[in-house]
Chains A and B, each alone.
Chain A
Amino acid sequence: MTSTLAPSFLDQAGSPELPAPRGPLSGAVIGALRGAPLGPVDPGGAEPYGDDLQLALHCCYELHYRGFAGVDAEREWDPELLGVRRELERVFLAALRADVEPGDDVTAEVDALLVEPIGPGVRGVSHHLQREGTLEQLREYVAHRSIYHLKEADPQAWAIPRLSGAAKAGLVTVEHDEYGSGRPERMHALLFAEMMTELGLSDAYCAYVEHVPGETLAEVNLMSLCGLHRSLRGASVGQFAMVELTSSPGSERLVRGMRRLDCGPASIRFYDEHVEADAVHEQVVRRSVLAPLLAAEPELAADVVFGIRASLFLGERMGERLLGCWDRGETSLRMPLA
């Protein structure tokens, strides 16, 4: 049997181009990465979830993943850029802390996530795509999601050395599955790339950054923020748990939507894999990550709840952006797909 690998994706080790700035904050960061002196950066008055701040943060974080073409990899540890990143993070985190109700009952939080709302009154992107979304809307959704899924599981991998004992082993069990359990052709990022190619989209890393709005970047930036700060490891686990606990039914809806739209096998396979994988991951996250983590470090409970609620909050903002644009007959992206 010939290999089904998409060589274009697995061979992609290169760095993406720097995106175009969207305001003074992203302008300062991107300018500095292009070699200009870093001017004063004051994010104090910026919209915390807006395009400018979120793109600036995205660029700061990407230095820790793939970097950018033409940018020295050592800029990852440029103290000036790290200082700017810290200021941007303070504004983002303060807004999230203010917008998200605090709590410390992880069991109640998880139980609430495991109740599945059904029926015609449920508003959600996967519900819309299952019932009536167009192929063009599905392609837009995949473009939004590509910012995360082409590095699926990477932001949560930062949490591994920040955990210990059973919680670490549990998290790695799930991460190992996300990375294909040692088989590159099963890596979830690759399955996503194959879906993109089948849908006529570019599978190049960060190819759609210019297209996606701040709402989309904010979701991924939350993952990087929590992953890169040891002090936020509880929130990182909470964010991870939220995704793993809620994605199985959502993936099933997307599989149905894709069948309705006559999508090809690679498209259906990505979400089909997640129906089964995340039914397992839900169990592993609850029993082998959350339970031992909270037994070892009960003081992290409030941050776990924060991670769950902050990712739900940002997920709802992104969902509203998509559904709102589609209700008005507009593209949910900053520019239409080619």
Chain B
Amino acid sequence: MADPGPTRVLLTDEGPALISGPVELELPDGTRVRSDRAVTAVCHCRRSKRYPICDASHRRKVRQEGPDA
């Protein structure tokens, strides 16, 4: 098998870091979070409600008021 090379981490400017291959993330308190996806999106902005996994919470939001607002 060919050398797969170093682990590739793509840092996006607006959202998560993308890591290829299964990963295990260790949090400051020792908790480990495993992801078996081909690509894992790791939260970079700390807004994810599933930190350290990205849940797209970094997206820009536009508020729409109700009909009687």
Contact = CB atoms under 8 A, between A and B. Distances in A.
B11 to A, nearest CB: 11
Interface residues of B, number: 27
Interface string A265-309: 000000000011111101110010000000000000000000000
Contact of A118 (B16, B41, B61): B61
Given A173-B39, A181-B37, A116 B69 contact: no
A122 B65 CA distance: 8
A29 B50 CA distance: 48
Contact of A279 (B16, B36, B62, B64): B16
A118 B64 contact: yes
Contacts of A278: 56
A321 interface: no
B53 A120 contact: no
Interface in A141-174: 173
A177 B38 CA distance: 7
Interface string B28-69: 000000001111110000000110011110011111111101
Contacts of A117: 61-64
A116 to B, nearest CB: 5
A114 B69 contact: no
Contacts of A280: 18, 37, 39-41, 54
A248 B3 CA distance: 34
Per DSSP, are chain B's interface residues mostly helix, strand or loop, or mixed? loop
B59 A114 contact: yes
Given A116-B60, A283-B15, A121 B65 contact: yes
B7 interface: no
A118 B63 contact: yes
B37 A279 contact: no
A134 B25 CA distance: 38
A44 interface: no
Contacts of A7: none
Contact of A276 (B15, B55, B64, B65): B55
Contact of B64 (A121, A252, A287): A121
Interface string A120-132: 1110000000000
A279 to B, nearest CB: 4
Nearest to A186: B36
Interface in B1-15: 10, 12, 15
Given A120-B69, A181-B36, A275-B55, 13 more contacts: A115-B62, A116-B62, A118-B62, A118-B63, A121-B66, A176-B38, A249-B59, A276-B50, A279-B53, A279-B54, A279-B56, A283-B16, A284-B39
Interface of A: 114-122, 173, 176-177, 181, 248-249, 252, 275-280, 282-284, 287
